[in-house]
Each structure stands twice: as structure tokens, then as C-alpha cells.
Amino acid sequence: MSAANAALRSLRLNARTQARRLGLWVLLALLAAFVAYAALREMRKVAPDVQPQADHAFSQQRPAHSAAEERFAQAMWNIHTDVRTAAVRMTFAGLAYKMGDGGHADIQTKVAPLTAVFRQADSQLRALDVPASMHQMRDRYSGALQLYGDASQEMIKVAQDGKDAHLLKAQEMSELAAGVLLDVGDQLWPGEIKPN
């Protein structure tokens, strides 16, 4: 009987030990789950902060230029700024005339000084130190300046005979030249034109 009691006592002791172990494991598992949950929660909180800043497409990338090419692009930009303004001025001299804001003589007054701007820009362009890789671009731009100069001379003729045919011929030349300006600008200053 005492042997049986001893065996029963031993069984109870084992059961208690196992229950304690099981409890410990459950506690550990709960702790691990809590730690994992907390970690995930923190990671979620952090996520928006690592969102990158706008990498918008028109902060345009173009092939890297050499130092000489960069110098040329910068020097051309200074010329281009004046040319572009003069070109729009010339167009508006014609538009104002067609809208009845001034007569033939006003065209001469407004456009004659622009011929000098285009010719001078061409001289400045030709005086630049041009890298071999940009000779063709320089020549195209120079051609556009010639066209603009010729267009301005053509426009002025309207002051002499009043014939709109001169304006039409000049506009065609001017629009061709404007296309070249865009081509060249696209290669040298890709951020020049933005969504409006």
C-alpha cells in the first residue's frame, strides 16, 4: 500500500512539474508574440517616412557633357536668351500690325533693331570655342540666326510697299528657325520648357 502511495505521489509530482513547464512555454510564446507584434507595429509606423521625395521627370537627365561642352552650352544659353526674346518680339511686331495696333512704319521701327540682334548673336556664336562634338549644333543654330535675320529684312519691306506677302514669307522663315531653336534647346537645356 505504501508502495502504491509512493508511486501515486511520484505521479502527482511529475504532473505538477510538467504543468509548470507547459505554463512557462506558453508564457514564453506569448512574450515572443508580443515582441513580434510590437516590432511590426513600429516598422509600419516608420514606413511613410522612408518614402522618397519627388523624382519628377522634367528635372531632366541628359547624357553628361564634358567640361568643354558645358562651357559651350552655358555660353550659348546667354546668346539664346536674347535670340528667343528677339524672335518673339519680331512675331509680335507683325501681330500688332495685323491687330491694327500701328501701321507699316511701326513694323520698321520695331523690327529693324532686331536684325542687328540676330546678326550680333551669330557673330558671338561664331566666336565661341566649340567642342568638335557640337560643331553641327552650332552650325544649325547659326543657320537659324541667318533665317531670323533674313526674315526681319523681309518684314521691313512691308513698310515700303504695304504688301502682306512679305510678312507671310518672313513668318515661314521665322517658324523654321523657331523649330531649330527647339531642337537645339532640347539637347542643351532640357529643362527649358515645362508643363504650363
Partner 1 sequence: MGGNVKSQVFKALAGAALVAATALGASVAQAQTCSVWLVENSRFLKVPFGMFHPDRSFVQGSTDARNNVNTVDLPVNVGVIKCGKELILYDNGWNQTDYHKATGTDHWSPLSKQIAQLGFKADDVSKIIIGHGHWDHAGSLDEFPNAVLYVQAEELRGIEWALNYPGHERIRATNVDKGGCSRTPACGYPPKTVDSIYGKVLRGKAVIVNGEMEVLPGVRIHPAHRAHTAGSQLLEVPTAIGKLVFGSDAYSSWEAIRDWEVANIQQTDSVQQFLAYEKCYKITGGYQNCVAAHEPLSYTDKYPLTKNSWVGMNGGRLAEITLAAGESSRKK
| Contacting positions for partner 1 (CB under 8 A) | 48-49, 51-58, 60, 62, 77, 81, 84-85, 87-89, 91-92, 94-96, 98-99, 164, 167-168, 171-172, 174-175, 177-179, 181-183, 185-186, 189-196
**Taking the complex as a whole, how short is the minimal distance between the CB of residue 178 and partner 1, in angstroms?**
4
Nearer to partner 1, 1 or 47 (CB): 47
Find where cell 561642352 sits: 69
Nearer to partner 1, 14 or 115 (CB): 115
Rounded CA-CA distance 104/10 in Å is 123
Please give the C-alpha separations between residue 14 and each of 9, 100, 185, in angstroms, as whole numbers: 9, 111, 88
Nearer to partner 1, 130 or 147 (CB): 147
CA dihedral 81, 85, 91, 92 (to 10 degrees): 160
Nearer to partner 1, 6 or 95 (CB): 95
**Taking the complex as a whole, how short is the minimal distance between the CB of residue 55 and partner 1, in angstroms?**
7
**Taking the complex as a whole, how short is the minimal distance between the CB of residue 97 and partner 1, in angstroms?**
10
CA dihedral 44, 48, 50, 56 (to 10 degrees): 150
**Taking the complex as a whole, how short is the minimal distance between the CB of residue 133 and partner 1, in angstroms?**
18
Q: List CB contacts of 104: < 8 A, sequence separation 6 or more.
A: 97, 158, 159, 162
Q: 129: buried, middle or exposed (CB in 10 Å: 19+, 13-18, 0-12)?
A: exposed
Q: In this structure, what C-alpha cell is assigned to residue 72?
A: 559651350
**Taking the complex as a whole, how short is the minimal distance between the CB of residue 36 and partner 1, in angstroms?**
23
Nearer to partner 1, 11 or 95 (CB): 95
